[in-house]
Amino acid sequence: MVGRDGPGAVAARFTGRATAGERLLGPALSEVALDDGRVVVVKRGHAPGAVPAEAAGLRWLGGAGAVRVPAVLGDDAWWLVIERVAEGRPDAAAAVRFGRDLAALHAAGAPAFGAAPPGGPEDAYIGLAPLRNVRGADWSAWYAEHRVLPYLRRAVDAGTLRPAEAAVVERVCERLPERAGPAEPPARLHGDLWNGNVLWGTDGEVRLIDPAAHGGHRETDLAMLRLFGCPQLDRVMEGYEEVAPLADGWPERVGLHQLFPLLVHTVLFGRGYADQALAVARTTLAA
């Protein structure tokens, strides 16, 4: 049970302020105006553990002092209240700063690949799909076992991918050790870094929302930005590489890192993403 609270009552409970109005943004998302002039965003979790994972992720990312995130104003098992971000237009200078800050966020590190944020549950979510934060010492083995294969199996079980097609992705997993590039320490990842989770503020600062935060390989965040498009991406990469140059050969590894989000989208949205995942897998094998 989510309880009888609505977004306005939740905002009042967590902020200690009376509310002056609310506006529905989506099925589980609202803006609520407070009597002190602030506007907050209230989100209702879709499943047990979703809000605790998101709140812990926001705090962990914000704790790096790098890319900004909206302040968490309150949370419980089902509800999250955060500050609203006034959105502006992407520009080149903000993109370069975002790239530098994203490099600093990744460099803040994580205890292990798959490590959950402090206080965050092992069983989390990426969008509406379950995401297990299980620790591993070797990135290639961990990525195959906990980021690629679980979604591949679900897609086969649902009939979205045929077993013969799944074998192509399995071959990529077998070849991961030779294709992964130089070993890197676990990075502090946003984990669901598509353009919709990158907010360009009117103050010229980027803020990240809706994380699926965990310890991982920094190229995974960057590959997701590239997969779903990001304004001023060349400028973002320029700023990133000023601070933390990527290992040689990273462009050839982009598809390998995109397998994870593509298979998640296959599970959530169907065959179109399965075709993209297969194309990426075949290109990776042919490289």
Catalytic residues: 192
| Residue 60 φ then ψ, to 5° | -70, -45
Residue 159 CB-density burial (10 A; 0-12 exposed, 13-18 middle, 19+ buried): exposed
User: Bridge partners of 214?
Assistant: 189
Longest dimension (CA), the chain: 60
Report yes or no: 223 and 87 within 8 Å, Cβ to Cβ: no
Q: How far apart are CA 6 and CA 15, in angstroms?
A: 14
Instruction: Find tokens 């998640």 and name the residue.
Output: 264
Residue 162: other Cβ atoms inside 10 A: 12
Quick one: which of 40, 62, 53 has its CA closest to 117? 53
Q: Judging by DSSP bridges, how do beta strands 198-200 and 206-208 pair with one another?
A: antiparallel
Q: To which H or E segment does residue 23 belong?
A: strand 19-26
User: Bridge partners of 42?
Assistant: 30, 81
Euclidean distance between the first and final Cα of the chain, in Å? 50
Q: Which two tokens stand for residue 212?
A: 């699926």
Residue 183 CB-density burial (10 A; 0-12 exposed, 13-18 middle, 19+ buried): exposed
